[in-house]
């Protein structure tokens, strides 16, 4: 695949990001435009490696290794190198309904398992993927393709995140009449309100939603199932129901001072910010705006990074990110071999911007919050934090406070970005759906059937908080099983 000597001739060169001090002035995507000739060179770096791991989609050490939707990566790398972009797009769409999303926000486990990555920096798979689909839209190759006939079956999909949209797309392709219900005022789930504009411009989400609507999918917004419309009514009115409601119950931090003004869940902050952008409001007028404030982000994952980047664009006075885990090593540790996802130190866009402005990575590792401290008016003014060390007790690692490590840091706003505990309860309680030990909807992977006949579940609601690419995997897979239930057989991939 690619040019046999390409990896020897060309260095890794992903699509570059705009300079931090430039990109923080706006809410546009941080990436620069791709150049076809450079992308062809990057495609040439894909080796004829014999056994490619990039598209395996395995789970190793509880992490994705290779592409969870089994993208035909070596094939479309080679086609890009050969300047056969439309063929590359066809290959890409065989496995991925929404490459414009994954090409922007996926952490690229494919690159972590790239065979070239054993000895050299891996192929820029994510950049090539994003460029293929963007060129496809630019050239008009992506157009509505509604099914030629209808099955007469009706399916309700609850939730319009990547899992729900993938399920709806596939079921519509099979000829079923699909209605997607979304409680927010826009279709897209966390693609719209959970991921900031600088990572995923909402025009790309809306472009795909418009395409799906032209293909025959019906979208109903501002309707919360279990509240505005009973879940039982969907069960009665539709031939099947697919639940893709996500894992939207945030993990809280129940320490002293949690009730103070200025302490917010991360998703509240990010959602209000995007709503303001889309509705052309003054974003600095939000209750949770960080303008002129010392902002503290509690949590070191992607959502925490998004809060850092958003706070900087608001014009915060300072930003600190607290991470309870230790700082990763610069290179793979011995217990983290290829093709596992490389757990190594890196700075994402938010940390890069903070370092450029404030002089250092904002993350403080092995650090926990002990108390939120307020002023006389009930407003947050600082955090009492301390260092921790991980100790093993009864076979489990637990954090323990390091004596004498307490210190107070200024904070007029704090964002809790510590992950999610599972799906909300309304639908599950109304339909008496089974739950697993982590409170997720009980539905076996590969079957996706709940304890209620004709009701399926997929995505984060079933597996817990995960990646967009896993959501697409499950959305495609649940559509296949739902189609089999409706028709007795299925031809969906």
Domain with 125 in it: what CATH number?
A: 1.10.1060.10
Does the pLDDT at position 142 exceed 80? yes
Residues of 389-424 as b/e, b for ≥16 C-beta within 10 angstroms? Answer: eeeeeeeeeeeeeeeeeeeebbbbbbbbbbebbbbb
Task: Compute the average pLDDT of residues 195-206.
Answer: 96
Looking at the structure, tell me whether residues 274 and 402 fall in a common domain.
yes
pLDDT tens per residue, range 221-274: 999 999 999 999 999 999 999 999 999 999 999 999 999 999 999 999 999 999
Question: Tell me, what's the pLDDT at 11?
Answer: 94
Q: Coil, strand or helix: which one is 385?
A: strand
Looking at the structure, tell me whether residues 394 and 285 fall in a common domain.
yes
How far is 143 from 146, CA to CA, in rounded Å? 10
Looking at the structure, tell me whether residues 396 and 320 fall in a common domain.
yes
Task: Output the six-digit token pair for 345.
Answer: 């130190």
Does the pLDDT at position 1 exceed 80? no
Q: How many residues does the chain have?
A: 493
Percentage of the chain surpassing pLDDT 90? Answer: 91
Q: With the CA atoms of 208, 210, 216 and 217 taken in that order, what torsion angle do they form, in degrees rounded to the nearest 10?
A: 70
Does the pLDDT at position 116 exceed 70? yes
- Indicate the residue among 85, 106, 138 that finishes a domain: 138
> Residue 288: pLDDT band by 50, 70, 90 thresholds?
low
pLDDT tens per residue, range 379-420: 999 999 999 999 988 888 999 999 999 999 999 999 999 999
Q: What are phi and psi of 154, to 5 degrees?
A: -115, 135
Measured between its terminal Cα atoms, the distance across the chain in Å is 24
Looking at the structure, tell me whether residues 275 and 349 fall in a common domain.
yes
Looking at the structure, tell me whether residues 93 and 219 fall in a common domain.
no
**CB-based contact 7:116 (threshold 8 Å):** yes
Domain with 198 in it: what CATH number?
A: 3.50.50.60
What residues have CB less than 8 Å from 346, skipping those under 6 apart? 328
Task: Output the six-digit token pair for 347.
Answer: 């700075």
Looking at the structure, tell me whether residues 198 and 276 fall in a common domain.
no
Does 230 fall in a domain? Answer: yes
pLDDT tens per residue, range 95-114: 999 999 999 999 999 999 99
- Indicate the residue among 418, 435, 463 that finishes a domain: 418
Question: Tell me, what's the pLDDT at 39?
Answer: 92
Tally of domains in the chain: 3
CA nearest neighbour of 413 among 311, 285, 300? 311
- Indicate the residue among 399, 418, 437 that finishes a domain: 418
Question: What is the full DSSP assignment across 174-185?
Answer: TT-EEEEE-SSS
Looking at the structure, tell me whether residues 312 and 428 fall in a common domain.
no
Looking at the structure, tell me whether residues 409 and 278 fall in a common domain.
yes
pLDDT tens per residue, range 78-96: 999 999 999 999 999 999 9
Question: Tell me, what's the pLDDT at 284?
Answer: 53
Looking at the structure, tell me whether residues 478 and 411 fall in a common domain.
no
This prediction's pTM: 0.95
Looking at the structure, tell me whether residues 358 and 451 fall in a common domain.
no
Question: What is the full DSSP assignment across 30-47?
Answer: SBPPP-HHHHHHHHHT--
> Residue 283: pLDDT band by 50, 70, 90 thresholds?
low
Question: Tell me, what's the pLDDT at 282?
Answer: 59
How far is 286 from 141, CA to CA, in rounded Å? 41
How many C-alpha atoms does 243 have within 13 Å on its Cβ side? Answer: 35
How far is 459 from 349, CA to CA, in rounded Å? 26
Looking at the structure, tell me whether residues 198 and 281 fall in a common domain.
no
Host domain of residue 431? 154-248+421-487
């Amino acid at each position: 695949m690619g040019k046999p000597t390409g990896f020897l001739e060309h260095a890794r060169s992903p699509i570059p990001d705009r300079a931090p001090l430039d990109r923080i002035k706006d809410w546009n995507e941080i990436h620069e435009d791709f150049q076809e000739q450079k992308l062809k060179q990057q495609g040439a770096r894909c080796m004829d490696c014999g056994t490619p791991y990039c598209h395996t989609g395995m789970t190793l050490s509880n992490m994705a290794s290779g592409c969870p939707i089994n993208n035909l990566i070596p094939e479309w790398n080679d086609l890009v190198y050969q300047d056969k972009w439309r063929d590359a797009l066809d290959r890409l769409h065989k496995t991925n309904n929404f490459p414009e999303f994954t090409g922007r926000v996926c952490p690229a486990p494919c690159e972590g398992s790239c065979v070239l990555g054993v000895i050299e920096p891996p192929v820029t798979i994510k950049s090539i993927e994003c460029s293929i689909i963007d060129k496809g839209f630019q050239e008009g190759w992506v157009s509505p393709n509604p099914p030629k006939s209808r099955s007469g079956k009706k399916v309700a999909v609850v939730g319009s995140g990547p899992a729900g949209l993938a399920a709806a797309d596939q079921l519509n392709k099979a000829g079923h009449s699909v209605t997607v219900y979304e409680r927010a005022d826009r279709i897209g789930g966390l693609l719209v309100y959970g991921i900031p504009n600088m990572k995923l411009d909402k025009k790309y989400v809306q472009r795909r939603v418009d395409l799906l609507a032209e293909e025959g999918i019906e979208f109903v917004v501002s309707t919360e199932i279990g509240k505005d419309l009973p879940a039982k009514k969907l069960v009665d009115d539709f031939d099947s129901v697919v639940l893709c409601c996500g894992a939207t119950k945030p993990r809280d931090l129940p320490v002293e001072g949690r009730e103070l003004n200025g302490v917010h869940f991360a998703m509240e902050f990010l959602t209000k910010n995007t709503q303001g952008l889309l509705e052309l409001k003054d974003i600095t007028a939000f209750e949770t705006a960080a303008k002129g404030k010392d902002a503290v982000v509690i949590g070191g994952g992607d959502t925490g990074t998004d809060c850092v980047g958003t706070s900087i664009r608001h014009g915060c006075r300072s930003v600190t990110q607290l991470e309870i885990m230790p700082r990763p090593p610069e290179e793979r540790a011995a217990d983290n071999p290829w093709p596992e996802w490389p757990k190594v130190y890196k700075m994402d866009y938010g940390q890069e911007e903070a370092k450029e402005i404030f002089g250092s990575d904002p993350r403080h590792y092995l650090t926990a919050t002990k108390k939120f401290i307020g002023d006389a008016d009930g407003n947050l003014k600082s955090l009492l934090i301390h260092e921790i060390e991980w100790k093993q007790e009864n076979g489990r690692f637990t954090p323990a406070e390091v004596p004498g490590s307490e210190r107070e840091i200024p904070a007029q706003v704090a964002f809790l970005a510590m992950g999610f505990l599972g799906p909300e309860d309304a639908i599950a309680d109304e339909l008496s759906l089974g739950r697993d030990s982590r409170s997720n909807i009980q539905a076996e992977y590969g079957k996706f059937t709940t304890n209620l006949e004709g009701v399926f579940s997929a995505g984060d609601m079933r597996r817990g908080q995960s990646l967009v690419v896993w959501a697409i995997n499950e959305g495609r897979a649940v559509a296949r099983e739902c189609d089999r239930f409706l028709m007795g057989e299925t031809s969906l991939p």
